[in-house]
Each structure stands twice: as C-alpha cells, then as structure tokens.
Amino acid sequence: MAKPSAQQFIDIESRLGAHNYKPLDVVLSKGEGVWVWDMDGNRYLDCLSSYSAVNQGHCHPKIREALINQANRLSLTSRAFRNDQLAPFYEEICALTGSHKVLPMNSGAEAVETAVKAVRKWGYEMKGVAEDAAEVIVCENNFHGRTIAIVGFSTDPMARIGFGPFAPGFKVIPFGDSAALEAVITPNTVAFLVEPIQGEAGVIIPPDGYLRRVREICTKNDVMLILDEIQTGLGRTGKLLAEEHEGIEADLTLVGKALSGGYYPVSAVLSNREVLGVLKPGEHGSTFGGNPLACAVARASLKVLIEEGMIDNAREQGAYFLSELEKLKTNQVKQVRGIGLMLAIELHTDAGNARSLCEALKDNGVLCKETHEHTVRFAPPLIITREQVDWVLERVDQVLRAAP
C-alpha cells in the first residue's frame, strides 16, 4: 500500500474537520529540540513552540521519561481520591513561584474560568459585594481563551460574532492605561484580569511601570490582580514569570502551556490563601485536574526549566534576537518588538500580509505564525542556541528582502 501523501492528510482534515483553524500547509511527523520534520523529511526550526507550550523543546527526554514512568504506574484517580504526585507538585510549584495555594486544571481557558469564579465568590463572601453584582475588569485586545464567558469580554469580532448571548459582569478598558483602570473601579469590582504582555494581540508590551502602578491601584481598592501568564510565564520573557520584570506579585497567577513541556494539558491557578480559600468541596473541580500523570509531567517540566538554565538562555538569546531583528528593518517593517524569546515583526499595512511572510519562511525552513493581519511572532523553544538564532535571522532577512 502506498504511503499517504501530505496533501491527502490535508484533504481529509478539510473534509472531516471543523474549519476553525487556518494552519500552514505543512504536515509534521517528528520533533526534537527546536526542530520539527514533516512527512517528507524536510526539517524546520520551530519559532512558535506550540504557542509557548514547548518552551523546553520538543520531546524533552526527561519529561518524556517522567510521562512514561508515571503512565506505567497510575494515570488517573479523579480528585475523589488522593494520589502521590499531587502534594509534591503543590510543594514544588509553590516554592518556585512563592504561591500559597494551587488549584490544578487542564487547559489555560479552564484556569481563567476558575480564577473568575473564585474572585467572584471571594467578592461576595469576603469583600461584601451584593450577590450577582461582582465586576471583573479586562483589557481591550485581550486573549484569555475560547469559552463563552471569555469570548464574551473579548474585543475581537472574530471571537465574539455569532456566539452570544454572553455572561455579564465584565468591563473593558484600554491595555497599558493605569489611569483607565483607576477610573472604572467601583465598590463592586472584585478583580482586574490582564496579560503582562498581550501575545495574541501581537506581542504588545505595556509602558514601563504599568504593572507596578496596577498593583498599587488594586491594593488600594481591595481588588484582586489576576495575571494571565499562560503564554508569558515559565521562562518565555527571560524571567520565570513576566511579573518579575517589575518586581510585583499578583494575587492570582495563571499558568499552563509550558507547565507540561507540551506533553499533556496541564494548567494551574496560583493564588494567595484569601481567594482560593473560599472554595469548598463540590463548588468547583475537574475530573482530570491534578491527576497523577499531569502532576508528574509538570514536576519534570519545571525541573528541567530551572536545572538546564532555560530561563537565562531565553533572556540572553532573546536580547540578541531582538537586536538583530531591529537591524533587518526594511521598507515592509513598521516595528520590531519583544522581550525574552517573545518577539514580533509588525509590517506596514501596505507591505503585504503576515500570512505571506510566514508561508515564505516555511519554504525556507522556519515555522512561525501570523497574528491578525500584519504581525508575525517569533517564539522558539527556550533552548535555542546563538547559532540557531543566526540561522533563523539569515532566513528572515532573505525573505524580507525578496518581498515586493
């Protein structure tokens, strides 16, 4: 029997799958470190890292070993029973992040929903907000997931149109504007939910001092600060958590994606005692959240992130990558921005679309993805070397110069 072609797989996807994604037409079959290979054996340097889920690189052997060992012992108990991986996971992630409480979930969107539920309950029980009056403030151009509640406070028409009615209780303000935050807080405000850097919006970095001022405003008004670090956290920006760049601590921090090194869906709400302390048995949960397989994988993923110096490498290689990207500015490039290994090139609106640039880079062995129409993100695994950064830069330069 003849081996199926990549085009046959693409055709099957198109025929049988929902068309809610628009992937590049490359069918990958193998990954190792920063590299991935397609069905025909062509090699690419991955500059997306599965939206930062594989910060540790593809198929990291130590995480794989933890997965296999635990899968051979015990995979799932539900939270109806205890398991021997949950408590060590709690201890290790709390020690690493300075958290007081943890609630493990599976996806990033589940972590966001969990945080919203918890701060609302905290508002009613601890702050004295009237029932069903709690308000959560969010930012324009946010991306926190795809559930109904979350898309209800999105400002992206693609995320919202056709999915209403939406849950009430959210106020939207401009990102990076601390005065706007202060102006909309009321006695019913229970939380401010914000990304330290807006990834899906195109790696939008707020002004210096923004998070420090936000922290002050939230503390002054007894409002819980929730930082969505699902994409920015776990080393991506050159710090364990992006909040460290401004020396603050959130009341709740949301992590996911790289928490499993790409092997398994794992997320967590990291919290002070006050907020997660309001949840009682039966009020919230997840069959798979905190399962022993997830905990073992997460423990290994955090361990290699620290022991193998990936965070320092992200800071060092990211600074170099950004400085060299800035030298590649051509007539097409409007702006280059980033921090750590979370980088973006924004094109002028009349310089063609970002999709075309991504397709050209794919043909030159670099995989990245557009966001919106005119921005290309670069987010390689945190293990990337200087030589590999140069390899990417050479191809970005070639593609930009070849563009009309």
- Active-site amino acid positions: 143, 228, 257
Q: Which residues contact 8 (CB under 8 A, 6 or more apart)?
A: none
For residue 32, the SS3 value is strand
Token pair in block for residue 390? 């140069």
Upstream peptide bond of 165 is cis (omega within 30 degrees of 0) = yes
How far are the Cα atoms of 1, 51, 250, 350 from residue 242, in angstroms, in the given order?
A: 51, 16, 11, 33
Burial class (CB in 10 A: 0-12, 13-18, 19+), 2: exposed
DSSP of 312-355? HHHHHHHHHHHHHHHHT--TTEEEEEEETTEEEEEE-TTS--HH
Q: Does residue 292 sit in helix, strand or coil?
A: helix
The closest alpha carbon to 316, from 373, 247, 238, 256, belongs to: 238
